[in-house]
Amino acid sequence: MHRVALGLTIICLLLACSNKLIPGEYHTNFPTYGMFGKTLTLDCDSSAIMNFQGDLMNDNSYGQWKTIEDTLVITFDTLNYPTSRYKNNLSLLIKGKKLLNVPFSKEKYMELELIASDSIDIPSLKSLNRKADKNMKYHYGKMKRQYFIRIESSDCE
């Protein structure tokens, strides 16, 4: 009987800690260089708005979002909005209330491996992403990992 209760508890914990994306508003955890911040709005109809603001700038890029396993992929609409700041697809890893940047996707990493010669030692994908995913926190030169954190959830019912 105790094993059944333990098994049910573990299953409930795993389901509660799943990386399910919740539409809503996400904001970067700190402004780059102390002044540039981003807000990502994910609507229930799969539309996305990325707002970039700071130092007399404030612009929006529009697109569509979808999830592939534990990754959020945003495809920006550059046909209807040719002056958008963001042109390429953006991939973010879903970790609870956080959306983490993925500088190198598996596909980009495999392309890098093909291009690199045998004499160049390429770090692992995990190590490369850990080192490449840092931004300036202040103008003093302090680097920190930047990510989006959910600040408001949307009710899609």
Q: Which domain holds residue 33?
A: 20-152
| 136 located within any domain | yes
| 128 located within any domain | yes
Token pair belonging to 7: 């098994």
Name the band, by pLDDT with cuts 50, 70 and 90, for residue 76.
very high
CATH number at residue 100: 2.40.128.300
Query: In whole numbers, what is the pLDDT of the chain averaged over residues?
Result: 83
pTM of the prediction?
0.74
| 127 located within any domain | yes
Residue 11 has pLDDT above 70, yes or no: no
Cα 107 to chain centroid distance, Å, stands at 17
| 69 located within any domain | yes
Q: How confident is the model at residue 74, as a pLDDT?
A: 95
Q: How confident is the model at residue 94, as a pLDDT?
A: 94
Task: Compute the Cα dihedral for 100, 46, 152, 59 and give only its sign.
Answer: positive
| 11 located within any domain | no
Work out how many domains the chain is built from and give that number.
Answer: 1
